[in-house]
Amino acid sequence: MQRLFFIGFWLATCTGFVSDLFWHHGDSSILRTISLLVVDMILLFLALCTVRKAFDIIFISFFLVISFFSTCILNHSGFFSWINGLRYFFGMLFLVPILRYFFENETRHDLFVQSLDKQLLIFLWLQVPAILFQFFIYGAGDRVGGTMGDGFSGVISISIYVTSFYLLSKRIDRNNILQSLYKNWTLIFLLFPTFLNETKVSFILLIVYFILLMPLDRKYIIRMTFLAPVIALLVGVGSYFYMSSVTGTEKLELSEEFFENYFDADLDDLEGAIEYAEKNYSETFDVPRIAKFAIIPMVFSAHPGHHILGFGTNIYAHGAHMEATAFYEEYDWLLNGTSPWLFSIYMQLGILGTIWTTIYFITLFYRKPPIYNRRNLNSQFFLFVVIFIMLFYSDHWGYANFCYVILIFHFLSWEKGKVKSVEKPALETSD
């Protein structure tokens, strides 16, 4: 089970780089297509072997019912189209019960974590040559996704931060912060590649990274006083490399004035304006993240009756062997590019899907593993920051590589606590 889990991890996080190196076709390459399919099959198989808790069964079943009614009943798509769209959610659906399996038994947990720590360190070191190669070949941008490949710059940056944070947290002496940072400087050095791919979220995560390295106790302010210069220095160095890596090419963006002119008009006018922009500018047009939220009411007004269940899980799932839906054909200008997770889930599964997602994230912090049930507050605060940012930043939760890294980090944020013992009632005796 453990070996199969890690095979899925490495396929999800490393085949993208190899695919881009030899095929140069991004998502359409045969290697990436096959590897993603194998990862999905591994997740499905491991889930079938590990899902035993009633909550997990009900929770997953509820999602399957919502997605089926949305995709097949309301939006009249076929069964196989629904199945293909479900793959977008395999990471979220299955990795939690799979990882809980490894944390339910102490021996199983120790073997898993011992192997995991070594592999996560290898994963971090692999990003250095991969990102440097991509940076010098393609320049800073979305193509600098490390071992994950083209289009995963945001995922790899977040993955580097949470992985380095976990490994450094295990090694740091919180009573000798500066000395510990000096001894483990390589883990800090491994953050450096995140400033070569124009990922702005890296600056937020860098600050959160160092703030949460220290225990949240009475001595926190004193420790922060000593650590503040180090944070300022690293932010300054990161800013320098980031500004040096950003190209001088102007990127097309929608201005506030643009939306003021078109929000009072109908969707056809807005779509026409974007098509005009795409034809008259060299770069592909990408509707800004926050602007997509503002367009949601216009889309649902044009298609009444979809607020509860959305437009189906298959609106993003199409390719060489699966035709795009009619909804995607109409709104490709809106669905393409980076989409915040809240936007993505609401468009696919409407209000019910958004409620399901909200409960999913809440249960991450309240469903404790039976033995490892004590919170590491620093790690869970870091996890909360990542989850909150992703709601408005990107739909990374639809990628297995992101779910692997973040949900591993989530379970590692639970530490061994006291196991509650159940006292047996005394046997009654009779004279």
Q: Which two tokens stand for residue 98?
A: 């799979």
| pLDDT for the residue 253 | 45
Distance CA 79, CA 224 (A): 56
- Residue 160 neighbours by CB distance under 10 Å: 25
pLDDT tens digit sequence for 200-245: 788 888 888 988 887 665 555 555 565 566 556 655 655 555 555 5
User: Mutual orientation of helices 2-22 and 30-50 as an angle, nearest 10°?
Assistant: 170
Tokens 């959610």 belong to residue: 89
Residues 114 and 262: their CA atoms lie apart, in Å, by 56
Specify the pTM.
0.84
pLDDT of residue 156: 94
Percentage of the chain beyond pLDDT 70 is 77
Rounded percentage of the chain residues whose pLDDT exceeds 90:
45
How confident is the model at residue 236, as a pLDDT?
60
Which runs of E-coded beta strand occur in 169-257? none
Work out the average pLDDT over 17-33: 75
Q: How confident is the model at residue 323 (pLDDT cuts 50, 70, 90)?
A: confident
pLDDT(252) > 50? no
Per-residue pLDDT, averaged over 166-191, amounts to 86
Q: How many CB atoms lie within 10 A of CB 338?
A: 18
Q: What are the backbone angles phi and psi of residue 294, rounded to the nearest 5°?
A: -70, -25
Condensed to tens digits (0 to 9), the pLDDT of residues 274-296 reads 655 555 444 556 677 778 888 89
Mean pLDDT computed over 182-187: 89
Using CB atoms within 10 Å of the CB of residue 185, give its burial: 0 to 12 exposed, 13 to 18 middle, 19+ buried: exposed
Residue 319: beta bridge partners? 322
Annotate 294-344 with DSSP letters as a single string: HHHHHHHHHSTT-TTTTT-TTSS--BTTBPPPHHHHHHHHHHSS---HHHH
Q: E strand or H helix at 405, and its extent?
A: helix 400-412
Question: 229 Cβ partners below 8 Å, 6+ apart?
Answer: none
Two tokens at 329?
């054909």
Q: Beta strands of 321-426 (E only): which ranges?
A: 374-375, 414-415
Q: Does 14 have pLDDT greater than 60?
A: yes
Q: Write down the pLDDT at residue 226.
A: 55
Q: 143 falls in which pLDDT band (50, 70, 90)?
A: confident
